Chain A
Amino acid sequence: MTFTQDHLLGIEHLHPVEITTILDLAQDYVGLNRSAEKHGRALEGMTQINMFFENSTRTQASFELAGKRLGADVMNMAMAHSSLKKGETLIDTALTLNAMHPDLLVVRHGNSGAVDLLAQKVNCAVLNAGDGKHEHPTQALLDALTIRRAKGRLHRLTVAICGDIAHSRVARSNLILLGKMENRVRLVGPGTLMPKGVEDFGVEVFDDMKAGLEGADVVMMLRLQRERMDGGFVPSEREYFHRFGLDAEKLAYAKPDAIVMHPGPMNRGVEIDGAIADDINRSVIQEQVEMGVAVRMAAMDLLAQNLRRRRERDRLRSISDE
């Protein structure tokens, strides 16, 4: 077992072996989560603070549950309405937090790179729960675990990520992770929602679902945010659904056993047909939510182990210094 990170800020920093380590441990926690006694002790005595500068229900609940199941004391801070609104800088917030001695800090922020900045200023393990249009590493990890369980492997698969790539941190984390694990990644979406230069990330780019889904093992749909549909990036919901919404006809281009994923929350009838989302033979959307808790437990467990080790090392060093 190898995991050397102090923080989980992005998939970019992870070695493929570390990814496998997280997924293997998460696989164990799936069993724990399905048992009657859902209690682990990995985080006992530790304080976990969830700081969400952007509103979130699902991700925050998932992190909260993951922490509680491992015995941590969990506190939620809804930063969207807090002192930041009163003018406090992110650095000052970090200093305030340091005084509370947290061990795990889960952060979501609307600006790319904000979580990295915070991680430099606090003395605990930081988990990125989504920063701007940059990364959302636990989402990519839970997607990876879902794929590995459904397909029996996490390499040499063709994965089509479809929709609003440009504004999606989920897409970025996923394409990095899937690339590291040696899969073929395709990005499908209109030119207006495709980031510039993305071809150079080792992915194939399509603006047509038929070509993009041809022979895919995994079809990953992304949410199209409503504020992007009103003629700014795509003309209308109905045209978007016509061209890029996943329905039975478009899914037929993928492999017959292709699975359908969605990070949620879904807009039925915009990016995905309700019938596909509910098809238990194809859709693994509910499983993704379940894997989310397990993956977050694994990530926090591993970070806590490293944190304990680091603190022990520091303690011994300070003794020997005396």
Chain B
Amino acid sequence: MMWFHNARLIDPEAGTDALGTLLVRDGAILERDGPFPKGARAVDCAGKCLAPGIVDMGVQVGEPGAQHKESLRTAGLAAARGGVTTIVMRPDTDPAIDTPEVLEYVTRRAEARTPVNIRAMAALTRGREGREMAEISFLLDAGAVAFTDGDHVSTDTKVLSRCMAYARGLGALVIAHPQDPGLSHGTCATSGKFASLRGLPAVSPMAERMGFDRDMGLVEMTGVRYHADQITSARTLPALERAKANGLDVTAGISIHHLTLNELDVGGYRSFFKFTPPLRSEDDRRAMVQAVAEGLIDVICSMHTPQDEESKRLPFEEAAAGAVGLETLLPAAMRLYHSEGLDLPTIWRALSLNPAKRLGLAGGRLTPDAPADLVLFDPDAPFVLDRATLASKSKNTPYDGARMEGRVLATYVAAVCVFDAAEVTA
């Protein structure tokens, strides 16, 4: 039994942020704001924040296929240090997670090597090629929480509609990357003044809206449960709002990078700032922050994408896209708290409660019987990020050298402490 006291409890479900206590037993939350029970171990939180652990929806782990970039072990360590208690793995491995056999292999290895929870999404089509449906029923039985081809956008709407119709029959969640494949092909920046100045092949943010509109047509046709992995442009928001108002079972996410960075950060062709979709204008970024505050965008994730130096030290156009984010998700999200006026329960709704709910996981709550997956953090602790200190094998973070506020002090998974900052610094 553990009794956390003197803690600022961040409860995304109730929307509260108040001092209190939390009693934990057998890996689950037992009681809130109760007195100290005899025999329990008391943990003095010193007035710092205690929140449900982050459920990071969309993490690329290099294993299998690219262990030199990230392994299940290093991803797990990075997650523990970043307050992420559940990694939701993307299927863009090599081979892709498109059969129950690969899924079982990954799950078995993860259990032995990863201190945090790890759940996997599976490919919607074989090899994520958009041609043949994956074995959705078998994969669900094997524990897949959602189905996605990642940023491989299907060009064949017939195949996609059949996949959705089939998934609908099984109640499976389909996650898509809303993007018009024709317009976005071969581009690496958002069209506008900056991309023109730099001479980069660019795509209009409208490509995202067009992709999203197409997907909404298919969702309306099939009735499937749908999640857009990243909505990054203000142009898409009215369509998202309309879809939700029309009663479609639709949610949307965004990466922390698109909430805290804009296209100008690319500066002199800095490839650590290359993302899929590309960083947007400042107007778009602010509209996205507003959409998260209003709950229109449901989920914030890290879109953790480890890339080694060789993949990044290339001309901007040829460099690999994506950044690591498991460890920087929480401090970067604190920028929304300090600079954008979002309160912590709102941020935690998007980091923890909503992704857990959407994927049917038990986490994300501080209510009795919820798993004791917790993060203790100091939202105000300042530091300058040094990428060399990251636990990830790959160090491709856009926040290298950035001044940040917000540090994870400890992470608990099923009441077991998997990271303690005091031990690291001591």
A residues apposed to B, CB below 8 Å: 190-192, 207, 230-236, 238-239, 242-243
Contact = CB atoms under 8 A, between A and B. Distances in A.
Residue among A190, A231, A233, A238 with the highest chain B CB neighbour number at 10 A? A231
Contact of B133 (A207, A232, A242): A232
Contacts of B162: 192, 232-233
Contact of A235 (B135, B165, B168, B222): B135
A235 B133 contact: yes
B137 A192 contact: no
Contact of B169 (A191, A232, A236, A238): A191
Residue among A233, A235, A238, A243 with the highest chain B CB neighbour number at 10 A? A235
Given A231-B132, A232-B132, A242 B137 contact: yes
A239 B169 contact: no
B65 to A, nearest CB: 22
A231 B133 contact: yes
7 contacts: A191-B168, A207-B169, A231-B132, A235-B133, A239-B135, A239-B137, A239-B138
A235 B133 CA distance: 5
B131 A231 contact: yes
Contacts of B222: 191
B135 A236 contact: yes
Contacts of A239: 135-138
B166 interface: yes
Interface string B168-209: 111000000000000000000000000000000000000000
Nearest to B132: A231
A238 B137 CA distance: 11
A190 B166 contact: yes
B125 interface: yes
A195 to B, nearest CB: 12
Interface string B124-152: 01100001111111100000000000000
Interface of B: 125-126, 131-138, 159, 162, 165-166, 168-170, 222
Chain B at the A interface: SS class? helix
B125 A231 contact: yes
A310 B165 CA distance: 50
A190 B170 CA distance: 9
Nearest to A240: B137
Given A191-B222, A192-B162, A235 B169 contact: no
Residue among B132, B168, B169, B222 with the highest chain A CB neighbour number at 10 A? B169
A207 B136 CA distance: 14
Nearest to B165: A191
B132 A230 contact: yes
Contacts of B170: 207
A191 B133 contact: no
B355 to A, nearest CB: 26
Given A231-B125, A231-B126, A192 B135 contact: no
A190 B125 CA distance: 17
Contact of B166 (A230, A234, A238, A242): A234
A217 to B, nearest CB: 25
Residue among B133, B136, B138 with the highest chain A CB neighbour number at 10 A? B133
Contacts of A243: 137
A285 to B, nearest CB: 27
Contacts of A238: 135, 138
Given A231-B125, A231-B131, A242 B169 contact: no
Nearest to A207: B169
Contacts of A231: 125-126, 131-134
The 3 closest A-B pairs by CB, nearest first: A231-B132, A207-B169, A191-B165
